[in-house]
Amino acid sequence: MQSLVAPVHIPVPVEVLEAEIRKVCGAFSLEPALSSGIVAGDVATRRIGLFETAIVGLDASKHVERGTKAIRQDPGEHFFLLIQDAGHCRVEQNGQVAHLDPGDMFLVDSVRPSRFSYGGIRSSQVSIHLPREEMVHRFGDAFVGGISISRSDPLWLAMRAVVTKMLDGPAAQPQLGEAFLCLMGAYLQSARGTAAPETLLSRALALIDRYGADPAFGPRELAGRLNVSERMLQRHFQALGETPGHRLLNRRLEIAHSRLCARAADMAGDGIAAIAYDAGFNDLSYFYREFRKKYGMTPGAATRCH
């Protein structure tokens, strides 16, 4: 199985690596295999498609654990799709035990206690962060409590291929992220033996992903396609802590950001304008302002983000 990434293994005190993991993934405790309290590892972040992703390398660690105390102190807001890239890992969550070899996947629920054992062997993992509330609204409660993803299912191979494509570099497009979510939903439905119920919110999110780059497509058009009032549509989006308009804006910014990162650093201003228009913006000043607000950089600086 070809590795997806090449993590760094740097000897550091266990407390330092715990702090780095907490910044990226939340509170976890590490028990090093060495009595010196030194563990070799590193945590790096990347954005692939629509998702924040952590690349975690560990060496000489007995186990990593997220217990009830850590969950109370640092409530989880994500599911983590854990992809074993090198080495091995024993995952325990919600009464399930899974032994991960390179290529195996486990969907971890951050609000349930979990334990990951490595046996003191060098390991590297890719952890794709999936926003919890959105996943529950899209797919129901199939995620809750964690789930092992079997490589014997043909959908595993398709998900692996999409992840590899997203990790390939700056050419990764937001459409790949949506394709990945569709594959994940199909896997969960087949694993349960029934289709997850389609909610108005899940239909709205799918329409935004499909038509978000159309500047004429706004909350009114979205409500019309769903045959509901704008007020009712807003009530459904309250579960995500945002409005339909804000969701549309974020979708357009994500499209523009991904395309800008894929372009050469010396791209002319006209190229930036074309990308903004193609992403659904018809006001360049508004685009520049909102882009900087979201990403903390200008669109021009984003062309040098890789």
pLDDT per position as a tens digit, 194-209: 444 557 787 888 888 8
Residue 173 has pLDDT above 70, yes or no: no
pLDDT per position as a tens digit, 24-78: 888 888 888 767 778 878 888 888 877 888 988 888 677 889 988 888 888 777 8
Quick check: do 10-151 and 200-302 share a fold? no
Q: Which of 35-44, 215-224, 252-261 has the lowest mean pLDDT?
A: 35-44
pLDDT at 141: 72
d(CA 217, CA 13) in angstroms, rounded, equals 52
Strands 147-149 and 89-93: unpaired
Alpha helices, DSSP H, located in the chain: 14-25, 68-73, 132-139, 154-167, 174-192, 200-211, 219-226, 230-237, 244-261, 269-278, 284-295, 299-302
SS3 37: coil
Q: Are 155 and 105 in contact (CB under 8 A)?
A: no
Residue 101 has pLDDT above 80, yes or no: yes
Domain ranges across the chain: 10-151, 200-302
183-192 residues labelled b (16+ CB within 10 A) or e (exposed):
bbbbbbbeee
- At the fourth CATH level, the homologous superfamily of domain 10-151 is Jelly Rolls (2.60.120.10)
Assign a CATH topology to domain 200-302: Arc Repressor Mutant, subunit A (1.10.10)
pLDDT at 25: 86
SS3 232: helix
pLDDT at 284: 92
If one counts every other C-beta atom within 10 angstroms of the C-beta of residue 287, the result is 23
pLDDT at 2: 59
Select the more confidently predicted residue: 233 or 305: 233
Q: Are 248 and 256 in contact (CB under 8 A)?
A: no
Residue 127 has pLDDT above 70, yes or no: yes
Select the more confidently predicted residue: 164 or 303: 164
Q: Are 68 and 42 in contact (CB under 8 A)?
A: no
pLDDT at 106: 93
